Amino acid sequence: MNEIAEVLGKKIKLLRIEKDFTQLDLSFNAGINRTYLGKIERGEVNLTIDKLNNIANALGCKPSDILAAVGM
C-alpha cells in the first residue's frame, strides 16, 4: 500500500470519528460512495484533490488540516 494514502486515510477516519460520523454519514455529506470512503480510510486508493476537498468540507475542516498528517 501507499504510505501517504494510508496516513491520509487514518487521519480522515480519526476526524470522522471525532465528529461522531459513520462512514455513511461522511460519504453522503461528501458526495462519495461509502465503499469508496472505506477504501480511502484503509489507504487502498489515492485521493484526488476534488475528493479531498469534498471530504474536508463535509468534516468542517480545510484540506490542509488533513494533509498536515503527512507533513504537507
Model pLDDT for residues 20-53, shown as the tens digit of each residue = 999 999 999 999 999 999 999 999 999 999 999 9
What is the set of domains in the chain, with CATH numbers? 3-70 (1.10.260.40)
CA angle 18–26–48, rounded 5-degree value: 110
CB-based contacts of 14, cutoff 8 Å, min separation 6: none
Residue range 19-28, pLDDT digits in tens: 999 999 999 9
C-alpha cell at 59: 468534516
Instruction: Output the pTM of the full model.
Output: 0.92
Q: Which residue intervals of the chain are DSSP H helices? A: 3-18, 23-30, 34-41, 49-59, 63-67
CB of 30 within 8 A of CB of 55?
Answer: yes
